Amino acid sequence: MRQLFRKAVGFHLLIFFLSCFLVLGPICATAADKKKGPVVYVSYGGSYQKVEEKAYLEKFEAKTGVKYLSVSPTDYGKLKAMVKAEQVEWDVVNCGGGVPVLMYDFLEPLDYTVINTEGLPKQYIFERGVAINTYSEVVGWNTEAFKEGPESWADFWDVKKFPGPRAMYNQPGTNLEAALMADGVAPEDVYPLTPDKVERAYKKLDEIKPHVKVWWTSGAQPAQLLADGEVVLATAWNGRLSNIIKEGAPVAFDFNPGFMHFGCGVVPKGTPNKELAMQLLNQIISAESQAEISRLYPYGGVNAKAYDLLDPEVARSLNSHPDNLTTQLIYDEAWWGTPANREPAEERWKEWLLQ
Amino acid sequence: MATIAGERTGDLPVWMRITGCETRQDLKTLLLLVPAGVFLAVFFIYPLTRLFIMGLFDPDFTLQHYLKMFTHPLYLRVLWITLKVAATVTIVCLALGYPLAALLSMVREKVSSRLFFMILIPYWTSILIRAYCWTVILQRKGLVNTFLANIGVIDKPLHLMFNTTGVIIGTVHVFLPLMIMPLYSVMSKVNVNLLRASAGMGAGPVKTFLRVYFPLTLPGVAGGSLLVFILSLGLYITPALMGGRRDILMSIMIEQQVREFLNWGFASALSFTLLFVTLLLYFAAVKWLGLNLLWGGKR
């Protein structure tokens, strides 16, 4: 009996120490390697991130010889946890909508002696973030259902002219503004979103609610739904739509109507590769990288100098081209990014969905 | 009181009496549990405690998160939807799993091992991939609708996706093996002679089932149902991908609070509400359904 007991204890201790080695070993190893990179870039994955790798990261590696690691998706919860635990693994993070106000305390102030902002409009430069891309939310349609798509938000709401199920973004932002414009509000009068405007928007949204089949949450969803014919109209990011059209799907879109967004690059506080992160950001907003991204994906960049490097054909197709900009509404990232505005709006949105 | 080493109970040291050890044998068994205990304490109990504290101290003591959870109509509504969906999934799993488990316990080893294989293979497939596969099968122009339309059974596509039906189908598919396993383990131990005795005394098959077989399998029913219910409360991927606008579950709310709003105090309150519901159900199952029989406890 005693023999058996000793064997059992010995066995357990062995397992325990083995697992310690297996767990601690890699942690120590990665801690040592951190000083030489690789630099970790985080974005939203899919076709867009592949294009970002080509335009930003490969060029960065070619210039500096530092390897990169491309990770997805951007997750503010993870970022906060990393910074609090002082175990930051991300170096540059692509944040979808404006500078995330919530994350302010967890971000490094940017080093503008390294980051050259020549060519960027002032509104794109912030203390703890810099705009790195622009993207638009537009209306895509299935070409097997309609030859011509909607030319206004009122058209999107018109179920007689455009019958069939729709897909819309599952958040109040852009949907409230679209509802107001469908109800006849002029684009320049949409902001600020006062409570009475919000009520008016929800009344208008009630009309379209029974026709919305899917409330999408990830960028790839609406493009796929349109391609499958699951829905006939959808709001979606123009880049994802262009991509699926290139793959031969029966989908089309234009920039009328649309919303103009910009995304920011930020650096998490306490990252061991701070200098490399700043250098990477500098590469990202350079005219060279911004032009390259526009060649590969129809997102206009943030750097006006990039237009000098672009083919006029390509420039014309970009969401940020002046011709295309006239029919789009510039989304108020600052208002929607403030938690005091966003949280009650989201709660109201969920209650509306549940009705 | 006879013990292995011949010691009397009254002679045992205090700490042995506290932990319920009566013999040296018990003590050795307890010591073998220490590594597992330490692991659980460090990687489970400690993080759980910190999470719980996060919900009550933000940073000073506050009940605002729990108050919000229980007084704001939205969150109560979401909790109710979550409980309803979990209950529906459990009942469907029970209806499908009970006959299947009974079959498994009665056929030859060769047949049952092949059947087990077929049940476990989907279980080992990623939940995310399965949700997308269900999309292909259930969507408006998917497999089911196209087939039914082609053979003329329906002329308008059925709404099987992006609604509660889709969520139920997807979730049942994920958890059915977990219902079958506990049921099978109990059913395979049912003494067939008891059933024969019941028939021998004149009871028909229905009566035998209701009065003999089913009560004997009750711990398995309790175990499987509890497992499926608790896991359904927390499932995120399937409802998020297959649900519609009304399928907002607690898991989706918690995810948004953690990832988007960084309101971890409130997320903690939401999570622990689910945990308390779970614990309540667990103790009810032990008391009234004899759940502890499943792992050799005594009534």
- In this predicted model, what pLDDT tens digit does every residue of B159-178 receive, in sequence order? 898 999 999 999 999 999 99
**Helices B24-40 and A2-33 sit at what angle, rounded to 10 degrees?**
10
Q: Write the DSSP symbol of residue B23.
A: S
Q: Are residues B47 and B92 in the same domain?
A: no
Domain with CATH 3.40.190.10 in chain A: 38-134+262-328, 137-258+332-354
Residues of B whose CB is below 8 A from A103: 262
pLDDT at residue number A47: 83
Q: Are residues B251 and B211 in the same domain?
A: yes
Q: Are residues B40 and B111 in the same domain?
A: no
B35 and A5: CB-CB below 8 Å?
no
pLDDT at residue number B1: 47
C-alpha to C-alpha distances, A193 to A183, A207, A246, A329, A330, nearest whole angstrom: 14, 20, 37, 14, 14
pLDDT at residue number A280: 93
Assigned domain for B62 exists: no
Among the partner residues A5, A16, A354, nearest to B35 by beta-carbon distance: A16
Assigned domain for B67 exists: no
B262 and A228: CB-CB below 8 Å?
no
pLDDT at residue number B2: 47
pLDDT at residue number B170: 95
Q: Are residues B104 and B205 in the same domain?
A: yes
pLDDT at residue number A34: 47
The CATH number assigned to the domain holding B110 equals 1.10.3720.10
Task: Round to whole Å and give the CA distance between A205 and A183.
Answer: 10
What is the domain extent for residue B238? 73-295
C-beta separation of B262 from A77 below 8 A: yes
Q: Are residues B123 and B172 in the same domain?
A: yes
Structurally, how many domains does chain B consist of?
A: 2
Task: Round to whole Å and give the CA distance between B116 and B130.
Answer: 19
Nearest 5°: the CA angle B294, B298, B299 is 95
Q: Are residues B14 and B82 in the same domain?
A: no
Nearest chain B residue to A169 by CA distance is: B245
Q: Are residues B291 and B156 in the same domain?
A: yes
pLDDT tens-digit profile, chain A (355 residues): 677 777 777 777 777 777 776 766 666 555 544 446 799 999 988 888 999 999 999 999 999 889 999 998 998 889 999 999 999 999 999 998 777 888 888 999 999 999 888 888 887 888 899 999 988 999 999 999 999 999 999 999 999 999 999 999 999 999 999 999 999 999 888 988 899 999 999 999 999 999 999 999 888 899 999 999 999 999 999 989 998 999 999 999 989 899 989 899 999 999 999 999 999 999 999 999 999 998 888 888 888 888 888 888 888 888 888 778 888 888 888 888 888 888 889 999 999 999 8
pLDDT at residue number A137: 94
Considering only CA atoms, give the Rg of chain A: 24
ipTM of the complex: 0.76
Q: Are residues B148 and B43 in the same domain?
A: no
Assigned domain for B202 exists: yes
Task: Round to whole Å and give the CA distance between A315 and A301.
Answer: 10
Q: Which amino acid is at A318?
A: L
Assigned domain for B19 exists: yes
Q: Are residues B25 and B105 in the same domain?
A: no
Flag whether residue A215 sits within 8 Å of chain B, measured between CB atoms: yes
Assigned domain for B63 exists: no
C-beta separation of B82 from B221 below 8 A: no
Q: Are residues B32 and B88 in the same domain?
A: no
Nearest to A224 by CA among A211, A212, A237: A237
pLDDT at residue number B19: 65
B245 and A342: CB-CB below 8 Å?
no
C-beta separation of B174 from B238 below 8 A: yes
Assigned domain for B68 exists: no
Give per-10-residue mean pLDDT for chain B (299 aa): 51 67 76 90 94 87 89 91 95 96 92 91 91 90 90 87 93 95 92 88 87 89 91 92 90 90 91 90 79 66
Q: Are residues B194 and B224 in the same domain?
A: yes
Q: Which of A82, A228, A231, A355 to mutate to test the interface with B (most CBs of B within 10 A)?
A: A228
Residues of B whose CB is below 8 A from A75: 259
Domain spanning A38-134+262-328: CATH 3.40.190.10? yes
Residues of B whose CB is below 8 A from A13: 35
Task: Quote the pTM value.
Answer: 0.80
Counted across chains A and B, CB pairs separated by less than 8 A come out at 70
Flag whether residue A54 sits within 8 Å of chain B, measured between CB atoms: no
Task: Round to whole Å and give the CA distance between B145 and A353.
Answer: 27
CATH number of this structure's domain A137-258+332-354: 3.40.190.10
Distance from CA of B248 to the nearest CA of A (A): 8
Q: Can you read off the two tokens belonging to residue A226?
A: 């349109």
Assigned domain for B260 exists: yes
Nearest 5°: the CA angle A60, A64, A70 is 40
Distance from CA of B34 to the nearest CA of A (A): 9
C-beta separation of B221 from B94 below 8 A: yes
